[in-house]
Chain A
Amino acid sequence: MNIIGPDLLVFGVDDVDACRQFASDYGLTASGDHRFVALDGTGIEIRSKDDDALPAALETGSMLRKTLYGVADQATVDAIAAELEKDRDVTRFDDGSIESKDDHGFVLGFQVTVRQVLDMPAETINAPGAPAQRGVNQIAVSKEDSPKPRTLSHVVYFVPDAPKQEAFYRDRLGFVTTDRFTHVGPFMRPAGTQDHHTVFFIQTPPHMKGIEHFTFHMGGPTDVVTAGTNMVNKGYQSFWGPGRHIFGSNWFWYFKSPFGCNMEFDADMDLHDEQWAAREAMPGADNSQVFLLQYREKWAPMGPPPPKAGA
């Protein structure tokens, strides 16, 4: 199953205007009537919770209505349809995409990916001992920087039965577990990407079932912190970060959002292949991050001019 990763997250929200403004300020670009997209065309769809075009909501009321995966080709879409039709309904749409549900009732879609191949540099650094990534007289930053999200990265779900969820994504969709928090759940990547994870499942009581957060990859840690600072300056409130995770090594900064879940900026995630052996760790603050920073308003060690000598 050559699934690449999430192409689109479809939301049925309480406050469409607030969500559209939030998505725009986050750095996504409006596309058509309902979508906001990253630089590679992946993104989110924002509709009113009462919109008839949406799949039904989970019984918990989570605003995430559908996760639409991008896959390599139509043959992969058809193979997924054939696999899922063994034990559940699969809807086929005129555009070639399909829709079904996982074992917890989350609506899943699969389509030939819309993800465009990006050709742009990563954030660059200069370090002693290594070739300079930025040449002479090339500056790294300015106060006006407004970095854009590059691609839809991953989604984290609260699920009442994480082992069951892991088995479905592994056995039916070909996902691989890259790491795991004991008694919590697995980080998983589909076969078509080397990213450490495109999903993470968190074991919770059934009334919590839904989306925990979603995030887009940025161009590097400076982009994460700059984009987050721009959000703070627009009045949005941080939930967690900035910091750097251990599993996946990705930089993070989470913000509360009107989508009923947190929305994260992330960057610089580890890549893995079939040679990787999944690690396991106890959950908790110490194993969740190598460091955690906290925003404060700009400040500098400067007081008024010193008094003149003898004054």
Chain B
Amino acid sequence: MSKRVRLCREDDIPDFCAQGFDPERHGFDTIFVVRQDRYYYAYADVCPHYGDTSLPWKKDEYLDAAGDNIVCAAHGALFNIRSGLCTSGPCKGESLRPIPVNCEADGYLWITLED
């Protein structure tokens, strides 16, 4: 079973920024979305290094200073924003788990979560 969840308005995420979300109300962010112009990339907030720790050192701090890479703050792993592939760091060659995300006609971002 899968379910669709409305996250936020498209423009709620500033351009070239990232934002974490807690769509299943765990009390902490479990996914994050990176915006690059009209494109949105969503991933599970889990670093593949240990497989059960989250990435940011502070809420929404998922990107490096230039906004070029996703960063895991635990050990500095870098991930390609579009593919989720780790290009440097402990989990080099592994990838973040992508979450399907769409901009709908209602102006909101929707994600699809698997049970």
Interface residues of A (CB under 8 A from B): 14-15, 18, 22, 60-63, 158, 204, 207-208, 210, 212, 235-237, 239, 255-258, 260-262
- Chain A's closest residue to B64 (CB) is A14
Main secondary structure of the interface of A (DSSP, over half): loop
Q: Are B90 and A15 in touch, CB under 8 angstroms?
A: no
Q: Is there a chain A Cβ closer than 8 Å to B14's Cβ? A: no
Q: Are A260 and B92 in touch, CB under 8 angstroms?
A: no
Q: Is there a chain A Cβ closer than 8 Å to B105's Cβ? A: no
In the complex, per-residue mask of B48-62: 1 if CB is within 8 Å of any chain A CB, else 0: 000001111111010
Do A61 and B88 contact each other (CB < 8 Å), given the known contacts A256-B74, A260-B75?
Answer: yes
Interface residues of B (CB under 8 A from A): 53-59, 61, 64-66, 71-76, 78, 88-90, 92
Contacts of B73 in A (CB 8 A): 237, 256-258, 260
Report how far A273 CA is from B66 CA in the complex, Å: 48
- Number of inter-chain CB pairs below 8 Å: 62
A256 to chain B, nearest CB (A): 4
Report how far A210 CA is from B89 CA in the complex, Å: 9
- Chain A's closest residue to B90 (CB) is A208
Q: Are B57 and A63 in touch, CB under 8 angstroms?
A: no
Q: Are A237 and B64 in touch, CB under 8 angstroms?
A: no
Contacts of B90 in A (CB 8 A): 158, 204, 207-208
From A236, A256, A262, name the one whose CB has the most chain B CB atoms within 10 angstroms. Answer: A256
Report how far A204 CA is from B89 CA in the complex, Å: 11
Report how far A260 CA is from B66 CA in the complex, Å: 15
* Cβ-defined partner of A235 (8 Å) among B55, B58, B65, B66: B58
